[in-house]
A and B are shown apart, each in its own frame.
Chain A
Amino acid sequence: MKHAIVVQELTKYYEDVTAVDHISFEVEKGEIFGFLGPNGAGKSTTIRVLTGLIKPDGGKAFVAGYDISKNPIEAKQRSGVVPEVSDAYVDLTAWENLALMGKLYGVSPQEIRENATKLLKEFGLFEVRDKLVRGFSKGMKQKLMLCMALVNDPEVLFLDEPTSGLDVESSRLLREKITQYNREGKTIFLSTHNMEEANQLCHRVAVINYGKIAAIDTPENLRAESMELQYIEVSFNKHINTQELSENPYVAKAIIFGNKIRIYTADPSRVIEFLVEYAKKDNLRILSLNTMMPSLEDVFLKLVKGKEAVIK
Chain B
Amino acid sequence: MSLTEQFKRSIVIAKKNIKIYYLKGPVIIFGLVFPLFLALAYVIGRDISLREVLPGLIGMTTFFTATSVGPSIVPWETRSKTLERLLCCPVAMWTIVVGDMFSSFIFGLIISVIPLAFTLALGIEMLSFLVLLFGLIIANFCFAALSVLLSAYPPTDIPATSMMLSSLVKFPLVFISGVFIPIEELPPWGATIASISPLTYFTDMVRQLFLNRGFYPLAIDFLAIVVFTAAFMFAAIKLHEKTLSKRLS
Contact = CB atoms under 8 A, between A and B. Distances in A.
Interface of A: 14, 48, 51-54, 72-74, 76-77, 79, 81, 83, 85-92, 96, 100-101, 103-106, 145, 148
Contacts of B19: 91-92, 96
A6 B163 CA distance: 43
22 contacts: A14-B249, A53-B87, A53-B88, A53-B244, A53-B248, A54-B244, A73-B6, A74-B1, A74-B90, A76-B88, A83-B88, A85-B81, A85-B84, A86-B85, A89-B16, A89-B20, A90-B80, A96-B19, A101-B89, A103-B9, A106-B9, A145-B85
Contacts of A91: 19-20
Given A76-B90, A100-B16, 6 more contacts: A53-B84, A77-B1, A83-B85, A86-B82, A88-B82, A92-B16
Contacts of A96: 19
B81 A87 contact: yes
Given A53-B248, A85-B248, A87-B80, A104 B20 contact: no
B92 A52 contact: no
Interface string B10-26: 00110010011000000
B212 interface: no
B239 interface: no
B157 to A, nearest CB: 11
Interface residues on B, range: 20 to 34
Contacts, number: 79
Interface string B62-88: 000000000000000000111011111
Nearest to B16: A100
A158 to B, nearest CB: 8
A83 B247 CA distance: 14
Contacts of B1: 73-74, 77
B91 interface: yes
Interface string B85-104: 11111111000000000000
B49 interface: no
A22 to B, nearest CB: 20
